[in-house]
Amino acid sequence: MSYTLGQEQLDRMEDILQQNLVDIGVRCVFLIDMAGNIIANKDNGKIKHDVYSLAALAAGNFGAVSAMAKIIGEGEFSLLFHKGKKENIHFNKINADFLLITIFSNEISLGFLRLKVGEAAEMIEKILSEITTP
């Protein structure tokens, strides 16, 4: 199954990522599907991560954690977050097929980030519900 999104939908999603996340100071944010494809990404212009590899690993990581949750009888873990010395990575499931990954420094609190990610995720979910699969 292949799918596509319209230019206008992609523009709207990038605007949401920019305004809700990059503008509050996150370093890099990307919307991916569970297959590891990148749908949209935005960053603060100062970093150059290999986003395609990150997307593949993030999708795999999320899939592995979800499978672990099922084995121990949890539907899913609600907070998926990796903390580093300087950089942190946060995963937010949008729906069954899409994930929002945010990379941010210690200057942003996790609580504030989760709030903003939650708002962005809700708006993106609305756009994705318009998705057309041929």
**Residue (70 or 115) nearer to other proteins, CB:** 70
In the complex with other proteins, the residue whose CB is nearer, 38 or 123, is 38
Please return the burial class of 104, using the count of CB atoms within 10 Å of its CB with bins 0-12, 13-18 and 19+: buried
H/E stretch holding 6: none
Beta carbon of residue 106, minimum distance to other proteins (angstroms, whole number): 26
Closest distance to other proteins from the beta carbon of 56 (Å): 5
Query: Closest CB to other proteins among 66 and 114?
Result: 66
Q: Which residues contact 25 (CB under 8 A, 6 or more apart)?
A: 44, 104, 105, 107, 108
Contacts with other proteins, residue ranges (CB under 8 A): 1-7, 10-11, 33-39, 50, 52-53, 56-57, 59-60, 63-64, 67, 97, 134
Residue 53 vs 95, nearer CB to other proteins: 53
Q: How far is the CB of 67 from other proteins (least distance, A)?
A: 6
Cα–Cα–Cα angle for 68, 72, 70, rounded to 5 degrees = 55
CA distance 36 to 31: 10
